[in-house]
Amino acid sequence: MKLFGFELAWAAAAFDAVLPEGTALPHGIARMNPARFFADTVASSPLEQSLGLRATLWIVALAPLWLLRRPRTIRDIAPDDRRRVLERLLASPVYAVRQLVVAFKAMGSMLYAQSPEARAAMTTPRDPSFAAAPAASGAESLVTIRASAKAPEEGDAHGHAAE
């Protein structure tokens, strides 16, 4: 199932609202062609999943009509308004809408994590003193937590399922 040109424009605008340029991140997602990634995902998915992805795009794209009360799509509004629309969709009282938007954002994150610059930024500590020896920084050393060999006794208020 192929996306139409206007759907590609919607996808590009919506993903740009999720991971824009000019943040603490190394770059925005726009340079990674998120619309093509989304289109390829829709095209390679089984029919039921591709319909769900497309429905998600339509919900995000047409949300300014009822959330901002403007006759515009996600592509036609300012970047700050796009962000506000996505935030309001994530706070929707309708569970399905919230989850579809979370899935849409997760798709953008999957693409973004493929960027070498983004991956390097995610795996490099920002504070150089964090990687330094604990004694030098005055912080306590990290402690390895191991599961308890003894099962908690019944009625033990401190027993946890992970122990």
Per-residue pLDDT at 84: 95
Per-residue pLDDT at 124: 80
Which amino acid would we find at residue 6? F
Quote the number of domains for the chain.
1
As given in the structure block, the two tokens for residue 112 are 């973004």
Per-residue pLDDT at 160: 47
- With CA atoms as reference, report the closest residue to 83 among 20, 27, 31: 20
In a domain, 55, yes or no: yes
Contact status, residue 108 vs residue 15, Cβ threshold 8 Å: yes
Name the residue range of residue 64's domain: 5-123
Which amino acid would we find at residue 161? A
In a domain, 103, yes or no: yes
> Distance between CA atoms of 37 and 43, rounded to whole angstroms?
10
In a domain, 156, yes or no: no
Q: What whole-number percentage of the chain has pLDDT above 70?
A: 77
pTM of the model: 0.74
In a domain, 64, yes or no: yes
- Within 13 Å of residue 49, how many CA atoms lie on the same side as its CB? 11
Contact status, residue 43 vs residue 89, Cβ threshold 8 Å: no
Per-residue pLDDT at 33: 95
Extract the residue ranges of the chain whose pLDDT is less than 50.
133, 159-160, 162-163
